[in-house]
Amino acid sequence: MSGADPLTVRGATVWPGCLDAASQAALMRDVQAIWAAAPPRHPVTRWGRPLSVGMSAAGALGWTSDRRGYRYAPAQDDGRPWPPIPPALLALWARLLPQARPPDSCLVNLYRGAARMGLHQDRDEADLTQPVLSVSLGDEALFRLGGVARGGRTESLWLRSGDVLALSGDARLIHHGIDRIRPGSSDLVPGGGRVNLTLRVAGA
- In the complex with ligand SIN, the residue whose CB is nearer, 78 or 177, is 177
Does position 125 bind Mn ion by CB under 5 A? no
Contact mark string toward ligand SIN, 4..43, x via CB under 6 A: ----------------------------------------
Q: How far apart are CA 171 and CA 149, in angstroms?
A: 11
* Smallest separation, CB 165 to ligand SIN (Å): 7
Minimum distance from CB of 43 to ligand SIN (Å)? Answer: 12
| x/- map, 171-190, Mn ion, by CB under 5 A | --------------------
Q: Applying CB under 6 A, does 186 fall inside the site for ligand SIN? A: no
Between CA 150 and CA 159 the distance in angstroms is 23
Order of strands across the sheet that contains 194-200: 7-9, 12-15, 164-167, 132-138, 194-200, 105-111, 54-59
Report which DSSP code applies to 3. Answer: -
User: Is 122 an interacting residue with respect to Mn ion (CB under 5 A)?
Assistant: yes
Q: Which is nearer to ligand SIN, 100 or 145 (CB)?
A: 145
CA neighbor of 198 nearest in space, from 75, 42, 55, 1: 55
Binding residues for Mn ion, total number by CB under 5 A: 1
Binding of residue 93 to ligand SIN (CB under 6 A): no
CA neighbours closer than 13 Å in the CB half-sphere of residue 107: 26
3-state DSSP assignment of residue 12: strand
Kindly state whether residue 196 participates in binding ligand SIN, applying the rule CB under 6 A.
Answer: yes
Strand intervals (E) in the chain: 7-9, 12-15, 54-59, 62-66, 69-73, 105-111, 117-120, 132-138, 141-145, 155-159, 164-167, 176-181, 194-200
For residue 203, which of 128, 132, 129, 125 has the smallest C-alpha distance?
125
Is residue 64 close enough to count as binding ligand SIN by CB under 6 A?
Answer: no
Candidate list 15, 72, 82, 143; residue touching ligand SIN; CB under 6 A: 143
Would you tell me which residues interact with ligand SIN (CB under 6 A)? 107, 109, 117, 134, 143, 176, 178, 196, 198
Would you tell me which residues interact with Mn ion (CB under 5 A)? 122
